Chains A and B, each alone.
Chain A
Amino acid sequence: MATKSHKGMSQHQMEIEPDLESNDPYMVLGVDKDASQGKIKKAYFVLIRQYPPETETEKFKLVRAAYEKIKSVYRRAETDLFLIQQPPAWNPSDKGTQLDTNFYISDAFLALRSWTDLDRTNFEDDFREIEL
């Protein structure tokens, strides 16, 4: 069952938790970028009931400023054109992200090589006495 987080609007309707600190008016009002004008208006009214200008002046100002930016189709078009974009929706692909658990014959060659002088680093026994 949907819980009521804001007066008159359920969490289903609010979609996103409003973030009053955001520069993004949609985030402030807690609505999706594709929300209808009606939905935006509804979200605005929910928030101003929660933050009335008489008691929550600063928060009211933030809500109001955000609403002003997208309250009409014309203003919204202008705002959308100059809005910082959120990261695009991204579904990580499985391709190339699986562990490689195969056997590699090259590892056997590598081991073979290590039994020869090719991988040795200390050849002090090949050094000659200096007879000066």
Chain B
Amino acid sequence: MSKRSSRRKRKAKARKVIALTGPVLIRQGKQALEQGNYSKAIDCWEKALMKPNPSSKLTASIAEAYFRRGINDGLGNTEDLKVALKLVPNDRIYRYHLALVYHRENKLKEAEKIYRELLAEMPSFKRAALPLSQLITQKRKSIRKDPVWKLLSIKEQERFVAVSSLKNKRQVHALIYAPDGEADLLWRGLASFHQDKLSVARKSFERVLKAPDSYNRAKEIARYYLGVIHAQTNKPDEALTYWQTAYKNGIDTKHLQHNVGVFFYQQALIEYQAKHYKKALELLDNSLTFRSEDSIQTDLFNQIHWQLGYEATNRNNWSVAMKHWQKILDTGYKDRYIMMNMAITQEKLEDHLQAAEHWREVLRRRPRSANHPDALDDKQVSRLWQHVAENYQKADDVTEAIKTYRNALKWSPDNVDLQINLADLLQTEGRWQAAENELNRILEANPDSVPALTRQAESCESDHRYKKADKEGKQFMWYGNHHEAFKIHLEGAEELHDNARMQTLAGMSAADINDLDTAEEFFSRAFKIDPTNLSNLHIAWWTWLEHNRGNELQILLGYVKAIYPPPPVYFLFDLIKLCHKFKHEDLAEEVLDFIENVYPNNPEALVEIARELYAKQKTEQAKKYLNRVLEQDSTYAKANFILGVIYNANGNKFMARRHWRVAERRARKDKAYDYISEMKTLKDILTHGAPKHPIFGEIFGSLEGVTSMEDMVGRIPPELLKLMLGGIEDGY
């Protein structure tokens, strides 16, 4: 940089410093004040006050700027007025305006105190008399008995007397028939209206509108009542014009809003009856602006949207129909039939998961009494459950589909089609035994059922072969004879080449004999047949972790990530647990990231992530996740319990107890008795140390000194062994 340019910069900087000197700041402040920018004026002058030798009038100017800003918007701002009064104490104008702001904010006690002080001062600040009188009337006290009465002019006193007459319904006629000039036109109009003398009232109100000295508010009130008179004389359009003008000019009383709302509603109703639905909706929107919580308007609103939605479905315009149904639901209307329309529309839009949920809602909302005219019989209920299941199936949510098929069967136990559908679904899930049970059930009732017999015949051989291989293979594996197990599984896999489970078992036992290439080949075959089977993925995951095969694990993770809808949270955390077991922490992190991506708001997932983080001593991060859960549901038991554990570990026993209490209360409410007992045990351990629970001694006491698997199997009670082996066999 040249010397000349840096000099130029220094000079510019110096100029800037000069620009901020006192006089310039004062000038800038004055300009800002003239432009109504009071904040800037305050800023400039407050800065100027900090400069040496400030002007003695600067403080008063700042106070004035605060005052102007304080009364500048809406009701006014007491904070600014208080600052102004701090700078120029006892200023009567500032105090008066502070009282007005208090009055507008309905802080009548504060306002009255200042008004009275101002009036008591010498000389008296008479402007305060009128708002004080208004305040006294507002407090429903007699103004004539108050000393302020004498401070009012005759005209002002007449106004208060007029209001009192209207209020007490006394001497109203005097207001109507008072000679011109002796009673305000507005009072005459109101009194005439009050006495049903509509033509006198109309004339008086019209004169209020024309009178040059009428106050705005008086004009708008006159307009409102002119509207009412026109409405009473069947001139609704004129009435609306008066009301809308009054509303635009600041009258927003409940009765005005009611009338405008009713007017638009009635017009909307006429358009609706003439089948001009869009026009009706426009009018109704206007009506709802004025009377948003009116159920009658909402009924019409829903009726129109229903009609428009129905018409859209007849034109196959399903997305438009959906928008209309949604509008109805947004008003809180959740009738069974609207849910039905929603479900059918979602099916047409191929959103089968949502469709299934809405069909469930239809079922939930069905009338339960058999005498109800809309009651559904058992067959219809069953058919609807079947339909829910079909939607889940289309949405690839096989677990829910199976559950709902079972529901359908509860309502129609002899429905062979349903049983066949369920058996098919169970077979595709690899749940051979359950499928066979279902087929057997059909054949018990209908020994000649052709579809059941066909399916049984088709699956019998392969199923039998699979089960035989699986059972024999497991026996050999259990006793550590992996070569023999592999032989059995290999034979099974070759015979049942399209059975994903068999290929997986072959892969697993190949890995057990360290033939990892063969294992990889069988796993590839399995996932080519079915890349979404969680049980098979779990076995392969375990196998590759055990053999530390990073590439293969990444391929498996790819399969897991591709499953839609994403696998359940418990499955993903099981994968993480296995990663920890085999010390694959990076992989665990990857799975954790995936969980956070696919379940960003799932409380169960967030709690498990927090648990993971806490286990790694990342306490603060864990707390963040738990708090995210509590933002959604402040009493979520698991989140509260873990937060309690964290606080307990940090020595904050008070907070720990508080969260545990919430967790227990919620768990009790949800009837999660297992979790209550789990929490109690953990709390006991955390607060009193680990107890020697009798049941552990009972079960595992006999296992002390075990030297081999056979030895252990021999010692475990047979019922418990059956349970444990059952668990292993079922897997997922």
Contact = CB atoms under 8 A, between A and B. Distances in A.
Contact of A127 (B64, B104, B215, B265): B64
Given A107-B224, A111-B218, A116 B344 contact: no
B632 to A, nearest CB: 34
30 contacts: A78-B383, A81-B383, A81-B384, A82-B344, A84-B340, A85-B310, A87-B310, A88-B335, A90-B299, A90-B303, A92-B269, A92-B300, A97-B265, A98-B262, A99-B262, A101-B231, A101-B232, A104-B253, A106-B253, A109-B137, A110-B251, A111-B190, A111-B215, A112-B159, A114-B218, A118-B104, A126-B71, A128-B60, A132-B26, A132-B55
A116 B340 CA distance: 60
B186 to A, nearest CB: 6
Given A78-B383, A103-B193, A109-B163, A86 B310 contact: yes
Given A92-B299, A92-B300, A117-B100, A128 B310 contact: no
A22 interface: yes
Contacts of A107: 190, 221, 224-225, 253
Nearest to B300: A92
Interface of A: 19, 21-24, 27, 77-78, 81-88, 90, 92-93, 95-119, 123, 126-128, 130-132
A99 to B, nearest CB: 5
Given A23-B313, A97-B266, A108-B167, A84 B344 contact: yes
B97 A126 contact: yes
B127 interface: yes
Given A92-B300, A118-B134, A130-B61, A24 B221 contact: no
B215 A115 contact: yes
B314 interface: yes
Given A112-B160, A116-B134, A23 B314 contact: yes
Contacts of B571: none
A20 to B, nearest CB: 10
Contacts of A101: 228, 231-232
A101 B602 CA distance: 55
A5 B306 CA distance: 30
A87 B301 CA distance: 12
A105 B255 contact: no
A29 B335 CA distance: 27
A105 B160 contact: no
B404 interface: no
Given A92-B299, A115-B215, A130 B253 contact: no
- Of the candidates A96, A102, A131, the one having the most CB atoms from chain B within 10 angstroms of its own CB is A96
A97 B263 CA distance: 8
A123 B67 CA distance: 11
Contacts of A113: 134, 217
B138 interface: yes
B68 interface: yes
A92 B26 CA distance: 68
B387 interface: yes
A100 to B, nearest CB: 5
